[in-house]
Structure 1
Amino acid sequence: MIAFFIKRLFQAIIVMFVISLISFSIQDNLGDPLREMVGQSVSEAERQALRDEMGLNDPFLIQYGRFLGNVLQGDLGTSYFFKEPALEVILKKMPATLELVFGATIIIVLFSVPLGVYSAIKPFSWFSRVVMGVSIVGISVPVFLTAIGLIYLFAIELGWMPSYGRGDTVDMFWGWDSGLFTLDGLHHLILPSFTLASIMLPLFIRLIRSEMMEVLQSEYVKFAWAKGLHSRRIYFLHALKNTMLPVITVGGVQIGTMVAYTILTETVFQWPGMGFLFLEAVNRVDTPLIVAYLIVVGAVFVVTNTIVDLIYGLVNPTVKLAGK
């Protein structure tokens, strides 16, 4: 286990270094931040003086070295628009995005496991055919189209759900606020969560179905049937447990992907999270905030994949986390 942590820590450092290098490299192609900061009334000489003061005219390696040194101290830069540390601005918006990802994950787990298992056990039933057909449609429909459809049906036509915003929140710990503990917050969370879940739900249904159908054809399952074990024990103890290992592999990556996919969902529903903040930063050419967002999302991927590797040992103890 210690060797595994050392290995993953070394890999994480390399990955985060590459992410920081790429993120910092693209900022020159996003536009001139001074144009958004000072407007048109400032002369060209004053602009050049500001660029020298901010270090924007320094060579790339000097700029990146200065940036990397600040990152090691927990400083990802100062937002040009908010006039605050970029990391603090992102952390203020992170609870909203994590709530959205959490709601979508709950929906995916609650629906994909029973539907995938049923479709594997009874692949030729009419319900399984319907599930597979709907899953194909779900994979093909863009997330923004799903969001618009849900808003039109449940918010405009039926009037059951709010169409935008986060709702009421309560202060939690460390200054984070949450809408999970208010009825209005949960009410506002339903449509965005289903929209975000629609991206991954069809994938997981089909993945669980295909993996479990393969497991049900294995020799140890046939031996369990020959021993006369109850069908529920075979399906949900022997077969499902071994089905979940590749599902967890894909799930760990896709949870990190959902953090990035929240951009479209948050935009349609005006959800005040990191994705909506990122689009605003792009429109304002707030390069420190853009770079900080990319680094934070990259860190989410690295942490998520490490946790998935740890879960391997819980689901299947025969998996070795690290070799000699």
Structure 2
Amino acid sequence: MLAFLIRRTGQSAIVVLLMATIVFFGVNVVGDPVHMLVSPDADQAEIERVIRQFGLDRPVIEQYGLFLKGAIQGDLGTSFIFGQPAVQLILQRFPATLELAVSALVIALVFGIPLGVYAGIRPDTRSARAIMAASIFGFSLPTFWVGIMLIMFFSVQLQWLPSTGRGDVGSFLGIESSLFTLDGLRHIILPASNLALLKMSMIIRLTRAGAREVMQQDYIKFARAKGLSFGRIVRVHLLKNIMIPVVTVLGLEFGSLIAFSVVTESIYAWPGMGKLLIDSVLQLDRPVIVAYLMIVVFLFVLINLIVDVIYSALDPRVSLTGAKS
């Protein structure tokens, strides 16, 4: 276990370094933030002062070296617009994005796994065909369109749920979240459902494929021959085996829920990292953009490592000491 963690940590460090290089140079060749930071009436002296203030007069390689030095110390620069450390701005918005991603993943799991299992063990029924047809719609419909339709139906016509904002935030065991208040739960239903739709469709199809394959295995037939109830066969033998690929995929998909919630957060004015990213892109706030991308890279690397460990726990045939990255 220790050798595996050391090897994977080294590999992760290399990945983070390469992504830091790509992110830095990719962001710094786009646009000129100076004209976003000064008044249109500013003279040349004022423009040069702003350039020197933010270190934009230095060679790109020198800026890159300072960026790496600061990144090692946890400093990814100061926001051009807000005047605060970029990492601090991102982390202030992170809890809102995290609770949205967790809620979406829970919705996708609660509905996706039972529907996928049913479609796998009863593939020829009309309801199973309807489930698979619905999953195709979940893959096909654009997220922004679904989000708008949910607002039109549940917020405008029925007036059941609010369409924007995070709602009231409660505290439990020192953790603040909108999930701890009724108003917060009402606010999160629509954005979480919108974000969960694509993942739910993927889980349904993945679970169905796994269930159909597992139901043909000899150990399922032996379990039936021993007289085990069908419910016990599904819970003990089927679910345990189909969860191996599901956990592997969901680990990375959870990272994508955090990273790619930009559209959903924009539609519902959810005060998370995605909304901050959109505002920073529009204002060419480079430090915030770079900090966001680096935090997302770190999350993906960390989640991938955790998934590998969980995968080995679910499948005893996998040895951590001999696992391939």
TM-score by structure 1 length? 0.95
Match of 1:226 in 2: 225
The alignment partner of 1:318 has SS state of: coil
How far residue 228 of structure 1 moved from its aligned partner, in angstroms, is 3.0
**Aligned counterparts of 2:183 and 2:211: Cα–Cα separation in 1:** 39
Match of 1:42 in 2: 42
Deviations 1:84-124 (A, max 9, x none): 00000011100110010011011011001110111111111
**Aligned counterparts of 2:321 and 2:64: Cα–Cα separation in 1:** 34
Determine if contact 1:30/1:287 at 8 Å carries over to the other structure. no
**Aligned counterparts of 2:140 and 2:166: Cα–Cα separation in 1:** 28
Match of 2:152 in 1: 152
Unaligned runs of 5+ in 1: none
**Aligned counterparts of 2:158 and 2:9: Cα–Cα separation in 1:** 51
Determine if contact 1:30/1:282 at 8 Å carries over to the other structure. no
Q: What do you get for the CA RMSD once the two structures are aligned? A: 1.6
How far residue 263 of structure 1 moved from its aligned partner, in angstroms, is 0.2
Output the amino acid matched with 2:4: F
Match of 2:167 in 1: 167
Aligned length: 323
> Does structure 1 residue 21 correspond to structure 2 residue 21?
yes
How far residue 173 of structure 1 moved from its aligned partner, in angstroms, is 7.6
How far residue 40 of structure 1 moved from its aligned partner, in angstroms, is 1.6
How far residue 9 of structure 1 moved from its aligned partner, in angstroms, is 0.6
**Aligned counterparts of 1:27 and 1:239: Cα–Cα separation in 2:** 47
How far residue 144 of structure 1 moved from its aligned partner, in angstroms, is 0.6
Match of 2:290 in 1: 291
Output the amino acid matched with 1:125: T
> Does structure 1 residue 120 correspond to structure 2 residue 120?
yes
Output the amino acid matched with 1:289: V
How far residue 12 of structure 1 moved from its aligned partner, in angstroms, is 1.2
Unaligned runs of 5+ in 2: none
Determine if contact 2:105/2:199 at 8 Å carries over to the other structure. no
Output the amino acid matched with 2:139: I
**Structural mapping, 1:138-149, within 5 Å:** 138-149=138-149
**Structural mapping, 1:261-272, within 5 Å:** 261-272=260-271
How far residue 204 of structure 1 moved from its aligned partner, in angstroms, is 0.6
Match of 1:103 in 2: 103
How far residue 234 of structure 1 moved from its aligned partner, in angstroms, is 1.9
Output the amino acid matched with 1:298: V
**Aligned counterparts of 1:269 and 1:53: Cα–Cα separation in 2:** 36
**Structural mapping, 1:1-324, within 5 Å:** 1-170=1-170, 177-323=176-322
Determine if contact 1:196/1:261 at 8 Å carries over to the other structure. no
**Aligned counterparts of 2:232 and 2:180: Cα–Cα separation in 1:** 37
Determine if contact 2:38/2:50 at 8 Å carries over to the other structure. no
Output the amino acid matched with 2:68: L
TM-score by structure 2 length? 0.95
How far residue 229 of structure 1 moved from its aligned partner, in angstroms, is 2.6
